[in-house]
Every structure is written in structure tokens, then in C-alpha cells.
Amino acid sequence: MARTRTQVDRVFDALGDPTRRAILERMSKNPIRASQLVKPLGMTLAGVVQHLQVLEACGLIHSRKVGRVRTCRIEPKGLTLATQWLADRQAQWERRLDALADLLDDEDDASTSE
């Protein structure tokens, strides 16, 4: 049974590849055309485009074709999705630590009264 992949799944999957992160780093400075990534990434245009497709499919970038040129830019909402997931985990963990601290405090109180 192939479980339905959520958008968070696809976003983190996309971010898991170093080449795609390199693309995002460049794009966070400026929008860019596919062909402009060929030389810096040291791969063929076809390879670059495949990465761009992954990034666009999960909502991390947006692209628009004008004439024969496809220009891509960052889609901040995609990044937010990932940030949110991480923040949730971190918050949950810290909530746990707080609860634990409270518990220990109570035990200290109890022990001091013994």
C-alpha cells in the first residue's frame, strides 16, 4: 500500500538533496533561469531541470516560462512548511522538558519536608 505522500514529505525529500539545496541557495539571492545553473552545478541542462521539477512539485519554488526561457524563483511558503514542522518538534520536546522540571521540583519539595 503506497501511502499518500503529504506535502511535508515531499518538501523534506526535496531538501534532502545537496544539489537542490545549492539551487535554493542561489535562488534565495536572485530568480534564475534553468540554463544558468548548468555551469555552476557541473551537470547537463536535463539534470538541472529534473531537480527544478522536484522543487516546484513540492512548492519550494515557482517557475514561469516566457518565450523559450523558464525563470524560477523561491516560494517562501514551501520553506515555511519545513520550518513549521521543525518548530513543532522542538516545541514539543521543550514542553516535555518543562513538565519534567516541574515534576522534579515537586519531588524536591516533598523531600525537603521529609
Q: Which of residues 28-67 bind DNA (CB under 7 A)?
A: 33-36, 42-47, 49-51, 54, 65-67
User: Which cell numbers hold the place of 10?
Assistant: 515531499
Q: Is 70 in the site for DNA (CB under 7 A)?
A: yes
- Report in angstroms how near the CB of residue 24 gets to a copy of itself at its nearest: 6
Rounded (10°) CA dihedral 95, 101, 103, 104: 160
Which among 106, 5, 105 is positioned nearest to 58, based on CA atoms? 5
Which stretches of the chain bind DNA, using CB under 7 A? 13, 16-17, 19, 33-36, 42-47, 49-51, 54, 65-71
